[in-house]
Structure 1
């Protein structure tokens, strides 16, 4: 049973990555349908049309599978192959649960650098910062979030960062810096022991 845990973990993580990528790509395609030169309902019609096209495509695929049930085998095999390939790009989540301590500190330093003087930073800002430095190519915000959570760095659902209009997923400075009480403990512990 343990012999199958690595391939199964790779397919599971690859499937999650693939689903996030497809969802992100579809959402971005729908958002690009919004017209910036128009206002109100007219500006959103392009996005709604693209959303309707996605729904129609899903309905037609469902009807096709209902008409030809064996097609589902081919679609499933294609999904498995794509999941296997996507899972190869990232380690199995079980391996990410025990990162080395310097890696956690390096990530905290990177987050504080991306944060600047602010009290919080959005994950999309961190991802853009990473990609400017040549890291995280092909990652989505969901991929970054999964990596941060594997390092036990808290990611909050609604973080308000400077320069943004609406709160979204992000990291807060308070979660990255030790509290004053925690910083004093190591310095007082040796003096009480002596």
Structure 2
């Protein structure tokens, strides 16, 4: 199975991304023009395109009551976004948590990453059973970094989708960890399980 480690750069590439992007952008513009003119646009389905085989596909999207991410892409009202005067390149996870706790007036919060980005917190060697702390976003840890210094086996990244203990990240800044400037972060009040949205406005 995929260990989600980054491979060295490939010398030769097939330039499909710009072409596919242009095709998809053309479709998006077409739908935008139709929407502006009050014409019907496709709903409840997804159009995909395979660039190497020139194949379009259409997948129906059926909402279900148990889906936790249905309508997840709906825009957030600006009134629900709290601005924090923090910068990703200067703020540690501990400082972020302290600021959010003060803003909400609570003692315990959880940073939920959802499908935004999973964090690598350790590398585990399946051969010699050693575990080494690590910090980074899934896909950014290279294969060379994942190789065990003791037995040279590829170590398995241990990832988390939420953060409860900011001290685990030490003095690493948010940018070091993989949180980009200006990011909107989702925090959860542990006691009431309510969601709160905070923007790193110091970067803007």
State the structure with more CA Rg.
1
TM-score normalized by structure 1? Answer: 0.28
Q: Which has the higher contact order (CA 8 A, sep 6+)?
A: 2
* TM-score using structure 2 length: 0.27
